[in-house]
A = this chain, B = another copy of it.
Amino acid sequence: METTFDFIAFDADDTLWHSERLYAEAQKQFTQMLSNYHDAEWINDRLYQTEIRNIHHFGYGIKACALSLIETAIELTEGRISSKEIQKIVEWAKIMLNSEVELLPHVSQIIPQLSRQYPMMIITKGDLLDQETKIKKSGLGKYFQHIEIVSQKTFESYEKLLKKYSVEPRRFMMIGNSLPSDILPVLKLGGSAVHIPYEITWLHETAQEPPRDHSGYYELEDLGQLPPLLDRITENRVT
C-alpha cells in the first residue's frame, strides 16, 4: 500500500528524548539559591519575564537560559548575589550541555521501524552545537534523511523547509510536544500534526488550546501509538 506521507518529521527535545526536565532541575536549584531573597513563585515569574524579554536577543537553548538566570539573579538580589553563585550558574550550563541523552519510551523501537516505511526528518530548535551533540549521542541520526536545526519554528520556517525539500503540505506530518512550535504552524500550512504532550511544558509553550477540531490534528499519549495511527490514516485515505 502506498504511504500517505512523503515525509514525517519529528521534533527532538521532549519528543524523542528528555530535555525540559534539565531546565526544570536548574530552575529548582535557582529558586533554592535565591530562597533567602524571594519565594519560589516570584523568582519563577521574574525569570520567565527575563527569558521572554531575552528570546529576541539570545534565542532558545541552554546558553540563553544561563544568561537569563544570571541576569535574573543579579536583578532579584539587587546585586547582592555572590560571584561564586554566578559561577555555579555557568557550571549548571556545562552540566546541562554534557548530560546524557535519555530517549523517551518507545523511541528506540518506533524510530527504526518507521524509517523503513517513511522518509523522515528531525526539525528542532535551540543551540546548534547542543542539538548536534544530542543527535549524535542519541544514536538516532542514521534513521533521518534530513536534520534541520532552526532558530524558530514558525509558519514561515516550515513553509521554507517544505519548499526546500519539495514536499506538499498535505503529504507532510509533524510530530511533537509543543502546540505553538510543532502543531499549529503545520496545521495552518495544510499539513498533519501529531501532538504528544510531554510531562512538563515550559510556560512559553503552553499558550494555546489543542486544536481538537482541526482536520489533520491528532493527539497521542506516546510514540508507541504512532504506527497504528499512520496505518489508520493510510487505510482511510486509500479507501
| Interface of A toward B, CB cutoff 8 Å | 54, 57-59, 63-64, 66-67, 70-71, 73-74, 77, 79-84, 86-87, 90, 93-94, 97-98, 127-130, 132, 149-152
Contact = CB atoms under 8 A, between A and B. Distances in A.
Q: Which of A74, A132, A150, A152 has the most CB of B within 10 A?
A: A74
Contact of A84 (B74, B94, B129): B74
Contacts of A98: 57
B83 A67 contact: no
Contact of A80 (B80, B81, B83, B150): B83
Contact of A77 (B79, B80, B83, B93): B83
Q: Which of A54, A74, A128, A132 has the most CB of B within 10 A?
A: A128
A74 B94 contact: no
Contacts of A97: 57-58
The count of identical subunits is 2
Q: Which of A84, A98, A127 has the most CB of B within 10 A?
A: A127
Contact of A129 (B81, B129, B151): B151
24 contacts: A54-B94, A57-B93, A57-B94, A57-B97, A58-B93, A58-B97, A59-B129, A67-B67, A67-B90, A67-B93, A70-B70, A70-B90, A73-B83, A74-B84, A77-B83, A79-B83, A79-B84, A80-B83, A82-B83, A127-B128, A128-B128, A128-B149, A128-B151, A129-B151
Given A79-B83, A83-B86, 8 more contacts: A57-B93, A63-B64, A66-B67, A71-B90, A79-B82, A127-B127, A128-B149, A132-B151
A99 to B, nearest CB: 11
A123 to B, nearest CB: 13
Contacts of A71: 87, 90
B81 A83 contact: yes
A83 B74 contact: yes
A171 B87 CA distance: 48
Contact of A63 (B63, B74, B79, B86): B63
A204 to B, nearest CB: 16
Contacts of A73: 83
Q: Which of A59, A74, A83, A132 has the most CB of B within 10 A?
A: A83
Nearest to A96: B57
